[in-house]
Chains A and B, each alone.
Chain A
């Protein structure tokens, strides 16, 4: 079974631009969560989607948004990029219920100049 895939793997943007990242979950997984990883803050939860609905959201500004499609694929969007948005963005998929193991994709490395 194929793992979680994320595209693109690397991105370089400038301040003020916007970016869209994509995540395809493991086949059969209906929950997709997004995390931001930085050296200073570690891994922080952004949001989680299940059946095209956002079920939970972390403490990030409204510039960070996401959505999920009927095939469970998910995208996240960051608008008006800031230097501090430079990070590794990880997507994780799981079956559905709380406590189900989340399997991570390889991540998208975003650099904001």
Chain B
């Protein structure tokens, strides 16, 4: 079966840096997505990693290690609006099917 783990909840302070980890055990791994979802809204795309290494996009960076089945999302210079759930999802084989972790709820406080 497929297993994707993320911490349930994290808290951080405005202006700080936070790292959200995601570990996965899947067969036929293709790539890994990170999405952000504010309460009551649709998930929005943040990043996609296929190869090992770090992808940087403004305040957000995402890292992937295929051999370790591990990824993280790094958020810098946290803002109040970053309070949301962060979803890690993998794609398998040649299919357009996202398998999601349970998501990490991030609370940013002043």
Which residues of A are interface residues toward B (Cβ below 8 A)?
A: 4, 31, 33, 35, 42-45, 48, 50, 55-56, 58, 90, 92, 94, 96-107
Contacts and interface: CB of A to CB of B under 8 A. Distances in A.
Nearest to B31: A99
Contacts of A98: 30, 91, 93-96
A100 B97 CA distance: 10
Interface of B: 30-31, 33, 35, 41-45, 48, 50, 87, 89, 91, 93-103
A91 to B, nearest CB: 9
B100 A43 contact: yes
A58 B48 contact: no
Contacts of A56: 95-97
Contacts of A50: 96
Contacts of B101: 42
Contact of A104 (B31, B43, B48, B94): B43
Point out which of A90, A98, A105 has the most chain B C-beta atoms below 10 A from its C-beta.
A98
A44 B33 contact: no
Given A33-B96, A43-B43, A97-B96, 13 more contacts: A33-B97, A35-B98, A42-B102, A44-B100, A56-B97, A94-B96, A99-B30, A99-B50, A99-B91, A100-B96, A102-B96, A104-B35, A105-B42
B108 to A, nearest CB: 22
Contacts of B45: 101-103
A67 to B, nearest CB: 17
Given A101-B45, A104-B42, A106-B42, A55 B100 contact: no
Contacts of A96: 96
A19 B89 CA distance: 28
Contact of B95 (A4, A48, A105): A48
> Lowest 10 CB-CB distances: which A-B pairs, in order?
A104-B42, A43-B100, A42-B102, A98-B94, A56-B95, A104-B43, A56-B97, A106-B42, A48-B96, A45-B97
Contacts of A100: 96
Nearest to B94: A98
B87 to A, nearest CB: 7
